[in-house]
Structure 1
């Protein structure tokens, strides 16, 4: 019988992490699937270097990271007798945000984005695995509860991020169109970078620049 340790080992070989685990959602995970595991990349350089060396990145076709994620997670799902789910599946689209909050391992931050005890505001999901065995991970605590200064709230130059008011997408894009937005385009969102919990999970500048280029097109 497969175990949580086996799964973590298989994901770790691809520089992926278990960000959260919760009971399978019957709307998306038919029996006998028992667990739903939300998967994200490791921080640092290793995951980005792996992806950019992959066939999906090298072939010049669109959406290389999504295609890499599907190849890898589909393979791991098959190995463990489960199935993979992706944010782009649908309609109906899998409710990753709700799953994340229901898991008790991710929370809505003061700026509205999800926050994770280890990844901070650098949370991103490559997909989810629905598996026919129970997956358990150590309990964690919302890092925002012990963050007295909450620098994420003042980091955005145009105050585009707010839990109360939502995400002002127009203000964000307008800032990125100006010279003052060059730093955000090349290094990534300032609010995400300011989060103290994000520091150990920091991304390479090249990775942030790529994602920002896809976002701001």
Structure 2
């Protein structure tokens, strides 16, 4: 485990917990083609990976589609190859239940924005891939974590968006996307999602502005 953590840390990524699959549950195939027996999630907290990704991106063709996906696959794939396991990505088809895996691995729950709320990182974290093992790892169950949204009385994350994209029931995707593609969205496109930035938690891990602008541009496309 420590060797995996060291290899990921070189690129600003980290292990985000994991668990053993129960024998009776349906699991995706591991490297052998048999159902995986364990999974380790890989992701980021804050923008630690951004300088590494940005330097790599500067050397790629400007028209490269989905550069962050590509970079993540390369980095996590290299780790998987080194230890003879299978790497998977959140963008793989058919989609794998990454959010359910994350809740199970780290004991997290969704915020009103749908993003998982972390007790330390707030909303400034993500899952970039996972490693699937042919054997169980004997991982302990995730400890219960405080869900910060439960004690957040004002919930400013529901009030900052100019088109009220997060109405408390669902993400109003079309309204958000339509606004981002309009001439009025310059602040969002440069400074990131206003609702996400309004959250008072995990501020030390807030993504740098160039990273937020990149993610917003990728979403708007």
Q: Tell me the TM-score range normalised by the shorter chain.
A: 0.7 to 0.9
* 2:163–2:175 Cα contact (<8 Å) kept: yes
What is the CA–CA distance in structure 1 between the aligned matches of 2:52 and 2:146, rounded to whole Å? 30
How far the C-alpha of 1:33 sits from its partner, in A, is 4.5
Give the CA deviation at 1:57. Answer: 4.4
Aligned length in residues: 210
Q: How does 1:104-123 map to 2 (within 5 A)?
A: 104-123=106-125
- Which ranges in structure 1 are unaligned for 5 or more consecutive residues? none
Q: Deviations over 1:12-39 (max 9, x none)?
A: 2221122332224742144585431222
Residue number among 61, 82, 86 corresponding to 2:85 in the alignment: 82
Provide closer, same or farther for how the CA distance between residues 37 and 195 of structure 1 changes in structure 2, counting only shifts above 3 A. farther
1:159 match: 164
The alpha carbon displacement at 1:207 in A equals 0.9
Structure 1 runs of 4+ with >6 Å offset: none
Q: Residue 141 of structure 1 aligns with which residue?
A: 146
Worse-superposed segment, 142-151 or 179-188? 142-151
User: Alpha carbons of 1:32 and 1:13: their partners in 2 closer, same or farther (altered >3 Å)?
Assistant: farther
Structure 2, gaps ≥5 residues long: none
Q: Tell me if the contact between 1:20 and 1:105 (Cα under 8 Å) persists in the aligned partners.
A: no
Cα RMSD after superposing both structures: 2.4
Change (3 A) 1:168 1:146: same
Q: Residues 137, 19 of structure 1: CA spacing in aligned structure 2 closer, same or farther, 3 A cutoff? A: farther
Partner of 2:181: 177
Instruction: Please show how residues 1-80 of structure 1 align to structure 2 within 5 Å.
Output: 3=1, 5-24=2-21, 26-30=26-30, 33-44=36-47, 46-54=48-56, 56-60=57-61, 61-80=64-83
